[in-house]
Amino acid sequence: MSRELILMTDVEGLGLEGAKVKVADGYARNFLIPRKLAVPISQAALKRLEKNRLARELRQQNDRESAQALVASLEKISCTIAVKVGENDKLFGSVTIQDIADSLKAQDLELDKRKIHLSEPIRELGVYSVKIKLHPEVETSLKVWVVGE
């Protein structure tokens, strides 16, 4: 026996949110419905799905707007990191994503270090452009000055 359900979230190997799927009764009863991944087809379920979709779109729009505001504040900031250097301006260690995040935090700009994309740690003095991805649709770059102490 099989059941028709509406997926409330994306389920790998089954479908995307809002899709109507036909699954085995046991799979629906023991896995999908208890985990609130799907619900039986009804008018209430369709209304709830639409309400969730509208709320998600509003949340994504707010996230995008706040990311764009953060881009404007990032463009005004210059990130300078002072590091110890040895002979021939060789760095002791390297400048990492955490160092950049700490430098921004010292300037009263809280930024999650997972949003900073650095292909490899910085190991020389100079000016570097570091990519910052704040939202899937919003990204910017930040100039990082690595200077000797």
pLDDT confidence of residue 18: 86
Tokens linked to 72: 């404007």
In 3-15, which positions are buried (b, 16+ CB within 10 angstroms) versus exposed (e)?
bebbbbeebeeeb
Are 6 and 55 in the same domain? yes
Give the lowest-confidence range in 20-29, 84-93, 131-140: 84-93
Same domain, 63 and 74: no
At 63, is the pLDDT very low, low, confident or very high (cuts 50, 70, 90)?
Answer: very high
pLDDT of residue 45: 87
Token reading at 74:
């990032």
Instruction: Give the CATH number of the domain where residue 120 resides.
Output: 3.10.430.100
Count of residues in the chain: 149
Q: Phi/psi of residue 44, each to 5°? A: -65, -40
In this prediction, residues 68-73 reach a mean pLDDT of 90
- CB contact at 8 A, 11 and 40: no
Q: What is the pLDDT of residue 109?
A: 87
Out of 52, 68, 84, pick the residue that ends a domain. 68
- Rounded to two decimals, the pTM is 0.68
Using a pLDDT cut of 70, give the percent of the chain over it.
100
The number of folded domains in the chain is 2
Q: At 56, is the pLDDT very low, low, confident or very high (cuts 50, 70, 90)?
A: confident
Q: Which of 49, 68, 87 is the last residue of a domain?
A: 68
Residue 49, domain extent:
2-68
Q: Is the pLDDT of residue 4 over 90?
A: yes
Name the average pLDDT for the chain.
91
Contact of 50 with 27, CB cutoff 8 Å: no
In a shared domain, residues 60 and 82: no
pLDDT at 22 over 90: yes
pLDDT of the residue at 52: 86
